[in-house]
Structure 1
Amino acid sequence: MIIDVRPNGSNGRLLALSMFVVAMWGITAWLRQVASELAPLELTGFAMLASAAASRFGANTRGALARAPRAHPWFAWLFVSGGLAGGAGFYFAALEFAPAAQVVVVTYTWPLLFALASDVYSRRRPSVITFFSLLLGLAGVVVMNGGAEMPRGSAWIGYAGGLLAGSSWVAYSLFLQVYERPIAQDFPAFFAAAGLLALVLQYGVHGGLVLPSDWQTYAVAIVLGVGPYGLGFIAWGHVVRNGNPRVIPVLPYAVPAVAAVTLVAAGNTQASVSLFAGCGLAAMACVSALRQ
């Protein structure tokens, strides 16, 4: 059957929220290029601290920094803060070692992994339509980026980083889907912990912070924190806890399409037939997933 996506229905609101997340994540690649002077962990740290500050304006978040450590066990911090820091940090690092197009192909295997892991954990029988939609979306990502090529030299590190970023998003999404305690009001604390973790790792790995003098770089870090990694992850957390588990994993396949259009509009990527063909396949995957 076709799910209810009426604008006034709960499913419609969740779908609209999902599209908002897709749009936020879709501009991440462009913003990363603008803030290229910041090291991956440093950019992650600043973005997460900006997320912590922005999320303080959410409902019932007052006192989150003092309340959250008592309200959630250690493994919640591992999956939520670790997933936030890992998803951003590994992705930014991957772009340092391998071409962005191929990194996207590797990273966006995560919706398929999330769908399979969610079904296995919940002891659901995998949906044929979901599996078909996921494969169709993955094909769209591959076509969008001109097909897959064998990595060379340090590109292996970039692809490994993309896989780790995707795995972090899978862990974050699956945990929020099954975690029983309310978490929305404590996001400021989880974001702050993720930011501090990234900056501590930056200091330990690189021996300190590299602070660029360009104020625009810091502005982009704040935008990343408030938008894609702030509002985006909070909204996604709400979607995975309340949305259709068959449809949710397919929607992120639209992210590469949004990213491609954004990069073309910014003049950072050249438009091509394969690019638009891949976008079409990703759109077909999302439509297919909605028909269940």
Structure 2
Amino acid sequence: MPQIKATAIGFIAILLWALLALFTVGSAPVPPLLLNAICFTLGGGLGLLWSAASGNLRALRQVPWTVYGLGALGLFGYHALYFSALRLAPAAEAGLIAYLWPLLIVLLSGLLPGETLRKGHYFGAILGFCGAALIVSGGGAGFQTQYLPGYGLALLCALTWSGYSVLSRRFASVPTSSVALFCLLSAVASWGLHFLLEDTRWPDSLLGWGSVLGLGLGPVGLAFFVWDIGVKQGNIQVLGTLSYATPLLSTLVLVMAGIAQLSISLGLAAILITLAALCAALASKEKGPSKDDPGLS
């Protein structure tokens, strides 16, 4: 598959993740682990049906269990750490730290064989993070020491997803259909922890059930499959930088739904994120390694 096509497919995940906040709000009062369990069951079940229909079930048997462990840890670990962080620290500050994962993807990708980081990637990553900071913090976040446990979990959250995304590149030969089992393993863990730690509360309206279904089909379903294609076969540095569009698009969706309001910080963030994507795209078009490239080639 051409790299530009794989990158475009990976970008679909970013568009789907822009709906995560809207659907999560609509899914109340379902607790986080139960929500994870339902969504991962939906996403994994449909992925398994797709694998069967396309004749890829036999290939799944040849995937090492270490890869399944990595996938389940990435999907389940990210969501478990994210929701826990938001319980122990203010959402704005914890969310800002969690959105370090696109920056970490760009920087960690330089350690991959055949990948090269350029000044444009660094500059784009910094601009993108500033844009994400404006979106998540609303233009002014203050960090307080009493919330350090939550901040620490948010940092682990960012490290988990960036590590999962970059390491997935090392397993490019593993079929994308394996993501179905990543989801199902995550669902098993979520169901178990839910029954241990949470009270069961199902959606109490058609809107709630529709939101849960939307999550399972999109942001916590299809998104993982297209992201897998993007990070394995696409331009992972461009994807990492474009990922900063997630908080921007998510906020725009909330504005259109009447849940959030337009602000100056939103406009500034749009400019920063657009410039970040442009910097990363131009840097990726440069040919051959340069003396300043810290990445491995």
State whether residues 94 and 103 of structure 1, in contact with CA within 8 Å, keep that contact through their aligned partners in structure 2. yes
Q: How many angstroms apart in 2 are the aligned matches of 1:269 and 1:224?
A: 20
Counterpart in the other structure of 1:13:
5
Counterpart in the other structure of 1:176:
168
TM-score by length of 1: 0.85
1:106 equivalent in alignment to 2:97: yes
SS of the residue 2:236 aligns to: coil
Identify the range of structure 1 (12-21 vs 184-193) with the bigger mean alpha-carbon deviation.
Answer: 12-21
The amino acid of 1:285's aligned partner reads A
The amino acid of 2:69's aligned partner reads L
Counterpart in the other structure of 2:140:
147
Counterpart in the other structure of 2:157:
165
The amino acid of 1:13's aligned partner reads K
Q: Tell me how far 1:24 sits from its aligned partner.
A: 0.3
1:197 equivalent in alignment to 2:202: no
Counterpart in the other structure of 1:280:
271
Identify the range of structure 1 (264-273 vs 70-79) with the bigger mean alpha-carbon deviation.
Answer: 70-79
Q: Tell me how far 1:251 sits from its aligned partner.
A: 1.2
The amino acid of 2:140's aligned partner reads G
State whether residues 36 and 190 of structure 2, in contact with CA within 8 Å, keep that contact through their aligned partners in structure 1. yes
Counterpart in the other structure of 2:212:
221
Counterpart in the other structure of 2:247:
256
Q: How many angstroms apart in 1 are the aligned matches of 2:56 and 2:201?
A: 30
Provide closer, same or farther for how the CA distance between residues 270 and 168 of structure 1 changes in structure 2, counting only shifts above 3 A.
same
Q: Tell me how far 1:217 sits from its aligned partner.
A: 2.6
TM-score by length of 2: 0.84
Q: Percent identity?
A: 26
The amino acid of 2:31's aligned partner reads A
Provide closer, same or farther for how the CA distance between residues 140 and 236 of structure 1 changes in structure 2, counting only shifts above 3 A.
same
Counterpart in the other structure of 2:74:
83
Q: How many angstroms apart in 2 are the aligned matches of 1:98 and 1:39?
A: 18
State whether residues 215 and 221 of structure 2, in contact with CA within 8 Å, keep that contact through their aligned partners in structure 1. yes
Q: How many angstroms apart in 2 are the aligned matches of 1:98 and 1:270?
A: 23
Q: How many angstroms apart in 2 are the aligned matches of 1:94 and 1:266?
A: 26
